[in-house]
């Protein structure tokens, strides 16, 4: 489910829950979540280790241990649940037990993963990952340079984690709508002024979403809670057939790379 803002808010919130604490036990309840590694490796490497730091890179959540790190990816449906007093219940794939509670990795669809690596950069997806859009490194010049090098439609360019890290299907549609750019436009054909606009809107939509994700902060104690209420900041995603909030045109849904793109042909060119 989550894109950059959601994972960032999870990282900040779970940090205060587990940083400095020791993983007393690691239960692998559904081994698929450790593929292509095995459950034994994760258990062996995690147990007895203290969580030194919690970080995010793109949509990955990273628990830095004394030796190595746990790398989590939620894919479409993964989430975290905190069980006070270590009373783990429900559909949990992996449970990290601490002294005062257990952190469960939950993913009914089993796309998500919890992996062990010596360094986060050893994860293939992280090794080739692009610029962090909320970092100082992400300037209009950097975006323009990367756009110039790609012939792909803008929507697919924005989804490509090797160019910009952390945008997903929702915020890429939203950023393009805000910038008034068609998702079908080829990246290398975008003008200087347009790429400036796109830069501003990528940062804008992510900041806005992050604020929204932090207020109120994630509540891992409630298994029902997982980023409800974000719809209110969405201007175009999921609005097929409805009228555009800017020009009144009809919002359309098209397929790009096997995923839905929502956009308004009336004001996105």
Q: 125 has which bridge partners?
A: none
174 a catalytic residue: no
Helices in the chain by DSSP H: which ranges?
A: 4-18, 39-46, 124-127, 140-148, 154-159, 169-179, 192-214
Using rule CB under 7 A, residue 133 touches DNA = no
Q: End-to-end CA distance of the chain, in Å?
A: 29
**What gap in Å lies between CA 86 and CA 96, rounded to an integer?**
9
250 a catalytic residue: no
**What gap in Å lies between CA 201 and CA 174, rounded to an integer?**
8
When binding is defined by CB under 7 A, the residue of 259, 265, 266, 267 that contacts DNA is 259
Q: Could you tell me the smallest distance in angstroms from the CB atom of residue 205 to DNA?
A: 12
When binding is defined by CB under 7 A, the residue of 15, 37, 47, 125 that contacts DNA is 125
Note whether 15 and 62 are within 8 A (CB).
no
Q: Is 237 helix (H, G, I), strand (E, B) or coil?
A: coil
> Which of the following is catalytic: 56, 59, 113, 155?
59
Using rule CB under 7 A, residue 170 touches DNA = yes
Give me the 149-168 binding string for DNA, x by CB under 7 A, dash otherwise.
xxxxx--x--x-x------x
232 a catalytic residue: no
Q: Could you tell me the smallest distance in angstroms from the CB atom of residue 117 to DNA?
A: 12
Using rule CB under 7 A, residue 118 touches DNA = no
Q: Is 267 helix (H, G, I), strand (E, B) or coil?
A: coil
39 a catalytic residue: no
Using rule CB under 7 A, residue 67 touches DNA = no
Q: Catalytic site residues?
A: 2-3, 59, 259
């Amino acid at each position: 489910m989550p894109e950059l803002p959601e994972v960032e808010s999870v990282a900040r919130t779970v940090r205060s829950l587990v940083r400095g604490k020791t993983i007393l036990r690691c239960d692998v309840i559904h081994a698929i979540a450790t593929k292509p590694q095995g459950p034994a490796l994760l258990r062996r490497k995690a147990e007895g280790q203290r969580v030194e730091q919690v970080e995010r890179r793109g949509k990955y959540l990273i628990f830095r241990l004394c030796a190595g790190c746990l790398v989590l990816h939620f894919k479409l449906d993964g989430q975290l649940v905190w069980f006070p007093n270590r009373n783990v219940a429900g559909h949990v794939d992996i449970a990290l037990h601490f002294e005062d509670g257990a952190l469960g990795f939950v993913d009914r669809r089993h796309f998500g993963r919890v992996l062990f690596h010596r360094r986060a950069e050893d994860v293939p997806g992280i090794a080739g990952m692009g610029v962090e859009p909320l970092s100082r490194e992400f300037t209009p010049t950097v975006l323009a340079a990367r756009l110039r090098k790609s012939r792909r439609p803008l929507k697919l360019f924005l989804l490509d984690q090797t160019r910009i890290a952390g945008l997903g299907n929702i915020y890429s549609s939203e950023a393009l709508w805000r910038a008034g750019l068609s998702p079908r436009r080829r990246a290398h054909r975008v003008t200087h002024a347009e790429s400036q606009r796109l830069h501003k809107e990528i940062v804008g939509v992510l900041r806005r979403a992050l604020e929204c994700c932090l207020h109120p902060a994630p509540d891992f104690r409630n298994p029902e809670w997982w980023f409800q209420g974000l719809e209110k900041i969405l201007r175009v995603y999921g609005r097929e057939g409805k009228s555009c909030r800017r020009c009144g045109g009809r919002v359309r849904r098209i397929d790009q790379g096997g995923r839905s793109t929502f956009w308004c042909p009336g004001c996105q060119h």
